[in-house]
Amino acid sequence: MTQTKPSLPAHEKAIRRGDSFTDLLLSWRLWWRHSVCASVDQADVIEQRREEAVISARYLFMLAMSAGIAVLGLLLSSPAVVIGAMLLSPLMGPIIGLGFSLATGDFGWLRKSAKALAVGSVIAVGFTALIVALSPIQTVTAEIAARTRPNLFDLFVALFSALAGAYAMIRGREGTVVGVAIATALMPPLAVVGFGLATFNWTVFSGALLLYVTNLITIALTATVMARLYGFRTNLTQNQTRLQDVIVIASFVALAIPLGLSLNQIRKEAIFSRQANAAIADSFTANARISSLDIDFKGDPISVVATVLTPEIAPRAQEMVQRRLARALGDPVAVTIEQFKVGTSASAAEEAQLAAARAQAQEATDREIRDLVELLALVAGVEETDVLIDRDNRRAMVTAKPLDGAELLAYRELEQRIARRVDDWTITLVPPARSLPDITLSETGPDEDGALALNLAEWAGKRISAPIEVTGREPELTQVRRLLAADGVATVPVDGGSTGRVSLRWSAPDTLPVAVPPEEASAAPSQN
């Protein structure tokens, strides 16, 4: 019995016959259409993508939680926490839906996906901005800075993420890992946008927003190309389809050009940094060590500031480095090299590094004190020279000038507000001798309003060097005096007034207040 040989695929027949390249390409196209595209259940894929590209309570909640975790990871500069945020991000649904709807020409689906993406983005930015605004940490960490300067590599990250995501969805193998791939390109930049908004750092805001928009467009267009490649049907005409292809290609080119220029600029900066490091190292002996190197590429000209620990001072090192770098760059370069002479031993170099670190810490402390003095002088309405600073004990004191309409309570709130801003300093704001509040009492002692008034009087009495006249009936007079004396406030008793109320006033109201340290005021004896 004669056996029939199995028929070969069209592309293999073309290869064996030695057909032309055009015929071979055509055979491969037929194989792709009938063997690969036909194995995809397009209706099922589209239905699943539609369900994930709508606004829902779960979508909004998971997006907010993902954004919150992402911004905390960025503030802590913790890649592990940022990855945790990507595991929760639901952005894959609407962004892939956007691409598939473009491929199929379903503009109703396109509008729903775009709406879900826009609403989710606004919520994520707003929620992250709120977290940053309430956070005591608002420093631009390395994780944040890495997402403020997009380049061509970021475009490739989004491209590969979209290729993996679209393929897995089309072939029915989507899962958490695919969602992480998409979130890698979208969620961290979105959180950085919120950080820039909360801190009013428009450099961070604009850079992260550009990265987010770039990745969003790249993922959507890549999903469109993948869907078209797998033969998803379209409602568009042939001319509209060709126009769509042209727009996709033009969009990729438009994104690639500025990002490529940005990558080229980063490459130039990396090369110049290596050249600067080599030029400085070559200008000193082998035992010299570069302690720090800072390059400001935004300056005009570019400035290079370095600290070198060397056993031998090189008097012409700065001039030689400046000339060498200017020749390499082709433009003028400002070079500043600070040299510290150290021994040749490793311990001597380490001691010099410690000295340089202590000098930097001292400079930071001086800057902190200058800012504090400026703030206290502004609040008190006095000159900066009138602010008293105890650097060793981290104490600051200032006597405020009288402000129209400002009572004692306003001055105390000012002191508390400043103290919260510099919580490791003891702040003393001496107010003018404004009128003191009356203290109301019940049978058991000061009532709620009376306790607040007593607390304010104690605060003022410890800062103003004048005793307080306490006017009232026994035993309320004695009770209030005892409470004030317990806090170190000197009092003068005056019999009179009404029961249930004790009046307070300064014993010498026409005398200007004199600033005294709180410990001296608290040690003042009570006058009986």
User: Pick the residue with more confidence: 131 or 299?
Assistant: 131
**Residue 83 included in any domain:** yes
Residue 227's pLDDT is what? 81
Query: Domain total for the chain?
Result: 4
User: Pick the residue with more confidence: 261 or 464?
Assistant: 464
- CB burial string 449-476: b at 16+ within 10 A, e below: ebeebbebbbbbbbbbbbbbbbbbeeeb
Going from the C-alpha of 281 to that of each of 289, 307, 353, the distances in angstroms are 8, 11, 17
Going across the sheet that includes 439-442, the strands are 445-446, 439-442, 501-506, 468-472, 491-495
pLDDT grade for 193, boundaries at 50, 70 and 90: very high
Cis status of the peptide bond prior to 513, with omega within 30 of 0? no
CATH code for the domain of 288: 3.30.70
Per the prediction, the chain carries an average pLDDT of: 77
How large is the average pLDDT for residues 305-331?
83
**Residue 18 included in any domain:** no
Same domain, 163 and 222: yes
**pLDDT tens figures, 273-298:** 888 888 888 888 877 888 778 887 77
Residue 130's pLDDT is what? 93
User: Pick the residue with more confidence: 258 or 212?
Assistant: 212
Same domain, 350 and 447: no
Cα–Cα dist 496/503, whole Å? 9
Cα–Cα dist 357/49, whole Å? 56
How large is the average pLDDT for residues 366-395?
84
Q: Is the pLDDT of residue 519 over 50?
A: no
What residues form DSSP beta bridges with 341?
Answer: 310
Residue 94's pLDDT is what? 85
pLDDT grade for 249, boundaries at 50, 70 and 90: low
Residues with Cβ within 8 Å of 36's Cβ and at least 6 positions away in sequence, in order, are: 230
Last residue of a domain, one of 332, 357, 382: 357
Q: Is the pLDDT of residue 416 over 70?
A: yes
**pLDDT tens figures, 199-245:** 988 888 988 888 888 888 888 888 888 887 777 766 554 555 566 56
pLDDT grade for 34, boundaries at 50, 70 and 90: low
pLDDT grade for 370, boundaries at 50, 70 and 90: confident
Q: Is the pLDDT of residue 181 over 80?
A: no
In 311-412, beta strands by DSSP E: 333-341, 388-390, 395-399
**Residue 100 included in any domain:** yes
**pLDDT tens figures, 104-160:** 777 788 888 888 888 989 999 999 999 999 988 888 888 888 888 777 777 788 888
Same domain, 101 and 123: yes
Residue 88 domain boundaries: 41-235
Last residue of a domain, one of 428, 446, 473: 428
Residue 517's pLDDT is what? 40
Cα–Cα dist 85/274, whole Å? 35
Going across the sheet that includes 388-390, the strands are 388-390, 395-399, 426-430
Q: Is the pLDDT of residue 515 over 50?
A: no
The whole-model pTM stands at: 0.51
Same domain, 290 and 332: yes
Highest-confidence segment of 190-204, 360-374, 384-398? 190-204
Q: Is the pLDDT of residue 355 over 70?
A: no
Residue 340's pLDDT is what? 79
Same domain, 294 and 343: yes
Residue 6's pLDDT is what? 52
Same domain, 50 and 198: yes
Same domain, 346 and 370: no
Residue 248's pLDDT is what? 60
**Residue 340 included in any domain:** yes
Residue 123's pLDDT is what? 92
Same domain, 176 and 325: no
In 311-363, beta strands by DSSP E: 333-341
Residue 297's pLDDT is what? 76
**Residue 242 included in any domain:** no
The DSSP H or E segment spanning 491 is strand 491-495
Cα–Cα dist 352/308, whole Å? 10
Least confident of 128-132, 308-312, 348-352, 487-491: 348-352
**Residue 16 included in any domain:** no
Same domain, 456 and 506: yes
Q: Is the pLDDT of residue 510 over 50?
A: no
Least confident of 79-93, 337-351, 430-444: 337-351
**pLDDT tens figures, 36-52:** 666 666 677 777 777 77
Angle at the Cα of 448 (from 447 to 450), degrees rounded to 5?
A: 60
Same domain, 154 and 197: yes
Grouping H, G, I as helix, E, B as strand and the rest as coil, residue 338 is strand
**Residue 528 included in any domain:** no
**Residue 2 included in any domain:** no
Last residue of a domain, one of 313, 336, 357: 357
Same domain, 345 and 373: no
Q: Is the pLDDT of residue 254 over 70?
A: no
Same domain, 211 and 351: no
